[in-house]
Amino acid sequence: MEKNWPLWEVFVRSKNGLEHRHFGSLHAADAEMALENARDVYTRRNEGVSIWVVESKHITATNPENNGELFEPAQDKVYRHPTFYTLPDEVKHM
Amino acid sequence: MSEAQIRNLEEIFEQRIARDEKIEPKDWMPEKYRQTHIRQISQHAHSEIVGMLPEGNWISRAPSLRRKVALLAKVQDEAGHGLYLYSACETLGISRNELYDQLHSGKAKYSSIFNYPTITWADIGAIGWLVDGAAIINQVPLCNTSYGPYARAMIRVCKEESFHQRQGYEIMMTLCKGTPEQKEMAQDALNRWWWPSMMMFGPTDDMSTHTEQSMKWKLKRKTNDELRQQFVDQTAPQADLLGITIPDPELEWNEEKGHYDFGEIDWDEFWQVVKGHGPCNKERLSARVNAWEEGEWVRDAAMAYAKKQQDKKLQNVG
Ligand SMILES: [Fe+2]
Ligand SMILES: [Fe+2]
């Protein structure tokens, strides 16, 4: 049997209206303990109103080596931005 | 990868750092960068964890409930700091267990300051004031360091440190305004903690080995001597305010330099403690090892319970 506590990633919503944000990670035997530990480790000073935990091994991430093909194509698509379009000054609020 | 390719990658890597870009865990990094960071971040984490021991010694004997909740909260923060830093370190590909092994086997170092004993309540004041004060000076520049997870952990740590120092200074203030015996206790604590605190900035610049590389990687932004000077300049007036005397006959304001002059550190003592011969090295390490070993059955039971719950869930589905 695996003896070491697995690693969990912790996401905290700092207040209602904001999204959960990655805060860090910790070790715990199960999800319930991960939540309890996350409360003590990451929210000792009112940093949160809601916590998500997910076991780190379940996260699939992009590889920075592929950043070129993944993210660079967006750089030359200026037509996706409002400033690409020329309008006469008389047009207000657009 | 050929050597030329690696050299090329290293160059791109150094340029990224020079441009103030952050390095994240899955990015390519030179092996030396990885190893240096594992060493520094883990040493830092170990220091936070071992640092709980000298102060934990006084939790049950704090002189009032106000002092007790403050000290408890501070010690709990230090545990938190250790945990932020261990998890930042793990992103570099080393497991928590390996890190603990390095600490428990004596292979890894932690800050020597925690190898001194806390014999009176005033020591708790002096630690908050001087030790956390010196730690803040060392740590603030790290909020901007190049490795993303380390920098993020340090921002969180630095936010929490300021209360540590203030509660310490308040303890000193109270003692200094108290009976002559209490003031004497504060002076005695300052006498014992001053030089070890000065040593927290490490060897002098001409003795320090990896400064240049650390500067490049933003593991360091100022030299040991610059940080130490900053500490003296900021602390000396605070001692005056308390009405107690820093145990250094050479300490004197130098109008011309705009800084305090101060005396020579006893580097023999420094190296003795680093090498394991300080007053509490054995005690600290054995307290850590005992806590780990005696906690084993709890960790195992938690895993067994988690496994059982998991199996039950699967059975109900099936
Ligand atoms: Fe700390
Ligand atoms: Fe602290």
Q: Do A64 and B24 touch (CB under 8 A)?
A: yes
CA–CA distance from B174 to each of A83, B126, B209, B260 (Å)? 62, 12, 42, 26
Query: For the sheet containing A20-27, what is the strand order?
Result: A20-27, A7-13, A50-55
Sequence spans of domains, chain A: 7-61
pLDDT at A85: 95
- Per-residue exposure over A12-49, b if at least 16 CB sit within 10 Å of its own CB, e if not: bbbeeeeeeeebbbbbbbbeebbeebbeebbbeeeebe
Are B132 and B168 in contact by the 8 Å Cβ rule? The answer is yes
Distance from CA of B316 to the nearest CA of A (A): 18
Q: Do B306 and B258 fall into the same domain? A: no
**pLDDT band, very low/low/confident/very high, at B175 (cuts 50, 70, 90):** very high
Q: Find the B45 Cα to ligand 2 centroid distance in Å.
A: 12
DSSP assignments along A9-78, one per residue: EEEEE-STTS-EEEEEEEE-SSHHHHHHHHHHHH-TTS--SEEEEEEGGG-----GGGHHHHHGGGGG-G
Distance from CA of A80 to the nearest CA of B (A): 26
What class is the A7-61 domain?
Answer: alpha beta
Lowest mean pLDDT among A33-37, B159-163, B187-191: B159-163
pLDDT at A32: 96
Q: Do B243 and B183 fall into the same domain? A: yes
- How far is it, in rounded angstroms, from Cα B56 to Cα B79? 11
Phi and psi at residue B210, to the nearest 5° = -100, 30
Q: Do A29 and B306 touch (CB under 8 A)?
A: yes
Q: What is the per-residue pLDDT across B116-151, written as a single tens digit (0 to 9) for each?
A: 999 999 999 999 999 999 999 999 999 999 999 999
The helix, strand and coil proportions of chain B, stated in percent and rounded to the nearest 5, come to 70, 5, 25
Q: Do B227 and B241 fall into the same domain? A: yes
pLDDT at B316: 86
Residue B25, number of CB atoms within 10 A of its CB: 15
**pLDDT band, very low/low/confident/very high, at B208 (cuts 50, 70, 90):** confident
Mean pLDDT on B265-291: 95
pLDDT at B196: 97
Q: What is the per-residue pLDDT across B281-301, written as a single tens digit (0 to 9) for each?
A: 999 999 999 999 999 999 999
Are B146 and B140 in contact by the 8 Å Cβ rule? The answer is no
Interface test with B, best of A3, A11, A46 (most B CBs within 10 A): A3
pLDDT value at B212 more than 90? no
Please give the residue that has the higher pLDDT: either B317 or B120. B120
ipTM: 0.90
Please give the residue that has the higher pLDDT: either B294 or A93. B294
Q: Supply the CATH number for residue B127's domain.
A: 1.20.1260.10
- Comparing alpha-carbon positions, the chain A residue that sits nearest to B306 is A30
Q: Do B263 and B287 fall into the same domain? A: no
Domain hosting residue B288, numbered range? 279-317
Which chain B residues have a beta carbon less than 8 Å from that of A61?
Answer: 26
pLDDT at A1: 56
Q: What is the per-residue pLDDT across A44-57, written as a single tens digit (0 to 9) for each?
A: 999 999 999 999 99
Q: Find the B128 Cα to ligand 2 centroid distance in Å.
A: 7
Best CA proximity match to B184, nearest among B238, B113, B250, B121: B121
Q: How large is the angle between the packed helices B31-50 and B65-90, nearest 10 degrees?
A: 160
Are A82 and B46 in contact by the 8 Å Cβ rule? The answer is no
Q: Find the B175 Cα to ligand 2 centroid distance in Å.
A: 21
Ligand nearest to the CA of B44: 1
Q: Do B169 and B283 fall into the same domain? A: no
Mean pLDDT on B5-11: 91
Return the number of CB contacts < 8 Å for A and B. 56
Mean pLDDT on B104-110: 95
- How far is it, in rounded angstroms, from Cα B165 to Cα B129? 5
Indicate the residue of A1, A7, A33 with minimum beta-carbon distance to B307. Answer: A1
Best CA proximity match to B239, nearest among B142, B161, B130, B89: B130
Q: Do B217 and B241 fall into the same domain? A: yes
- How far is it, in rounded angstroms, from Cα B236 to Cα B267? 21
Are B188 and B172 in contact by the 8 Å Cβ rule? The answer is no
pLDDT at A48: 96
The answer to pTM > 0.90 is yes
Q: Do B235 and B105 fall into the same domain? A: yes
Q: Do B287 and B234 fall into the same domain? A: no
pLDDT at B109: 93
Q: Do B294 and B270 fall into the same domain? A: no
Average pLDDT over chain A, rounded to whole?
A: 94
- Comparing alpha-carbon positions, the chain B residue that sits nearest to A41 is B80
**pLDDT band, very low/low/confident/very high, at B60 (cuts 50, 70, 90):** very high
Give the position of tokens 């102060």: B55
Q: Find the B272 Cα to ligand 2 centroid distance in Å.
A: 25
Lowest mean pLDDT among B26-35, B44-53, B205-214, B283-292: B205-214
Q: Find the B213 Cα to ligand 1 centroid distance in Å.
A: 25
Whether chain A has a CB inside 8 Å of the CB on B77: the answer is yes
- The tally of domains found in chain B comes to 2
Q: Do B202 and B219 fall into the same domain? A: yes
Q: What is the per-residue pLDDT across B66-85, written as a single tens digit (0 to 9) for each?
A: 999 999 999 999 999 999 99
Q: Do B238 and B182 fall into the same domain? A: yes
Best CA proximity match to B45, nearest among B105, B133, B137, B110: B110
Average pLDDT over chain B, rounded to whole?
A: 95
Mean pLDDT on B170-194: 98
